[in-house]
Amino acid sequence: MDGCKRLSASHPPPDTTQTMGHDHDYDCSFVTDVVTEGRVSTAEDVLDAHAKDEGPHEAHRPDVVVWPDSTREIAALLAEANDRTVPVTPWSGGTSIEGNPIPVAGGIVLNTSEFDEITVRHDDLQAVVGPGVVYDDLNAALASHNLRFAPGIAAGDIATIGGMIANNASGLNAVRYGVTGDHVLRLEVVLPDGRIIECGRDVPKSTAGYNLKDLFVGSEGTLGVITEATLSLEGIAQHRHAALVTFPSSVAASQAVSTIMASGLTPGALEFMDTQLVELLNDYNDDADFPAAPLLLIELHGNSGDLSTQMDRVRTICEDHDAIEWSEADTDDIETIWRARRDAYPAACEYYADQTVGVIGDVVVPISRYPDIVSRIETISDELELLTPCVGHAGDGNIHFLPVVDTDDPAAMDRVQELTDAIVSEALELGGTATGEHGIGIGKRKFMRQEHGDAVDVMSGIKDAIDPRGIMNPGKTLPNDD
């Protein structure tokens, strides 16, 4: 794999309908009765492109890829597939890490890229969007309204709203603005048997009945296909003020995070990088000359030019936690501060010419346990003789670990898997979760029972109630122990 290069399989549909001549797992010839010519493909390169996301997981090629262009078409397709017990795996931007949208047993991949409409309801602070809308495109469309869809994901140039909802994606700005699910007010969903339902309403709050909306958010396409969403939006803060602070230890940095979060300040971003990553940054960028020590990046958002007062308060907190170096920048030159964060992943990737990031790990622990997980990652990496720089959304207790290895060396990749298993188990023992942003997909099914215990049986019961034939994205999310 090339962990630094991103490919999207969400291209427009091919020009010609392909014949279904190849060996297949399921007879999917019925799809051409439902989805119009030109939006169905069995071309080898198309099947290949939909058999791989950005993670290391091996999957099974689909038998066919379809690009439906209406909710009714999806409803008809699912009803037919359900009758025939043919698996259907929804596909969005393909930027996932855990194999979330790639089939494990063939069948149909349902690419939602045709659903790319955006309707902005400015006075309601809402947008109604299709699942195929790209995150950055949505925010570009919202900019003229001075509004924003705020979770702040890393792959925003490719990832789509459908995938973000299905995986409850988030990133840099979730610490202030919440994760994707916090911004979803309503979903139109096609159920596995072809029924179309609405989950939630176009209002800021409701207490009317069971919360189906948040059941479908994060369900990774295993319960139905999302065909439309109403999102709540934020006004864009007029002022930003950022600081980069170095600490003598990750414990000191983590404690500063707790204190900042408890202070009543609401940072727009609060990021951590460990010493290893800082050293890689110094290697990567000739202009970078950070002390070899953990750092925090803190950004404040506001509307009345008062941010320097608030930032002074952050600085005092950091100094109380023995901060070594402090630099700051405001709205206009804020990128000078954020360059360090932007360079984190490429710096890790390009550490050696023949090595790259084996996996992007993703766990969350309670904020107070952040120093513990950082130090445990260090110990486990040392034991496995891996270089594992870390970067994370510290304000959320979220940490990404980036083991740098030769990804073509199976023995090295085995150690990466061992590392991941050990770190996830450690996070769970610290009261954390196996995944803060990337979801369960294929890769983390084995931790579901450890994390959730008997609650997994309730999840399975819900899956059976909604998708009794198990056609929706089989082999994902729920554990493989039952």
- Using the CB atoms, write b or e for 3-42: b if 16+ within 10 Å: beeeebbbeebbeebbeeeeebebebebbbebbeeebbbb
CA–CA distance, 168 with 379 (Å, rounded to integer) = 31
Q: Which stretch binds a copy of itself (CB under 8 A): 49-57, 69-77, 115-123, 405-413?
A: 115-123
**Residue 49, Cβ neighbours under 10 Å: how many?**
21
Binder among 1, 237, 324, 387 for a copy of itself (CB under 8 A): 237
Residue 381 in contact with a copy of itself, rule: CB under 8 A: no
CB of 449 to a copy of itself, least distance (A): 10
Binder among 29, 327, 431, 480 for a copy of itself (CB under 8 A): 431
Residue 197 in contact with a copy of itself, rule: CB under 8 A: yes
Query: What are the φ and ψ backbone dihedral angles of 94, each rounded to 5 degrees?
Result: 75, 20
The CA-CA-CA angle for residues 202, 200, 93, to 5°, reads 90
Chain positions 31 to 60 lying near a copy of itself, rule: CB under 8 A, are: none
- Using the CB atoms, write b or e for 433-452: b if 16+ within 10 Å: bbbbbbbbbbbbbebbbebb
Binder among 11, 22, 195, 342 for a copy of itself (CB under 8 A): 195
Nearest partner of 35 among 129, 126, 110, judged by Cα? 110
By beta-carbon proximity to a copy of itself, the closer residue of 264 and 410 is 264
Contacts of 464 (CB under 8 A, 6+ apart): none
Report helix, strand or coil for 139. helix
Residue 322 in contact with a copy of itself, rule: CB under 8 A: no
Chain positions 256 to 285 lying near a copy of itself, rule: CB under 8 A, are: 258, 261-265
Per 3-state DSSP, the chain is made up of helix, strand and coil in percentages (nearest 5) of 35, 20, 45
CB of 241 to a copy of itself, least distance (A): 12
Binder among 181, 192, 392, 403 for a copy of itself (CB under 8 A): 181
Chain positions 383 to 412 lying near a copy of itself, rule: CB under 8 A, are: 395-398
CB of 368 to a copy of itself, least distance (A): 4
Chain positions 161 to 180 lying near a copy of itself, rule: CB under 8 A, are: 167-170, 174-175, 178-179
Residue 215 in contact with a copy of itself, rule: CB under 8 A: yes
Nearest partner of 8 among 111, 123, 119, judged by Cα? 111
CB of 95 to a copy of itself, least distance (A): 14
Chain positions 129 to 148 lying near a copy of itself, rule: CB under 8 A, are: 145-147
By beta-carbon proximity to a copy of itself, the closer residue of 148 and 415 is 148
Q: Which stretch binds a copy of itself (CB under 8 A): 131-139, 253-261, 291-299, 375-383?
A: 253-261
CA–CA distance, 456 with 307 (Å, rounded to integer) = 45
Residue 226 in contact with a copy of itself, rule: CB under 8 A: no
By beta-carbon proximity to a copy of itself, the closer residue of 106 and 439 is 439
- Binding-site size, a copy of itself (CB under 8 A): 101
Binder among 19, 23, 465, 482 for a copy of itself (CB under 8 A): 465
CB of 454 to a copy of itself, least distance (A): 5
Helix H or strand E encompassing 376: helix 370-383
By beta-carbon proximity to a copy of itself, the closer residue of 202 and 343 is 202
Binder among 121, 315, 339, 446 for a copy of itself (CB under 8 A): 121
Helix H or strand E encompassing 16: none
Residue 210 in contact with a copy of itself, rule: CB under 8 A: yes
Supply the DSSP string of 222-263, one letter for each residue: SS-EEEEEEEE-EEPPSEEEEEEEE-SSHHHHHHHHHHHHHT
Residue 433 in contact with a copy of itself, rule: CB under 8 A: yes
Chain positions 281 to 320 lying near a copy of itself, rule: CB under 8 A, are: 302-306, 309-310, 313
Nearest partner of 251 among 317, 321, 315, 172, judged by Cα? 321
Helix H or strand E encompassing 345: helix 344-349
User: Which residue in the block uniquely carries the two structure tokens 């369900």?
Assistant: 219
Binder among 142, 154, 244, 364 for a copy of itself (CB under 8 A): 364
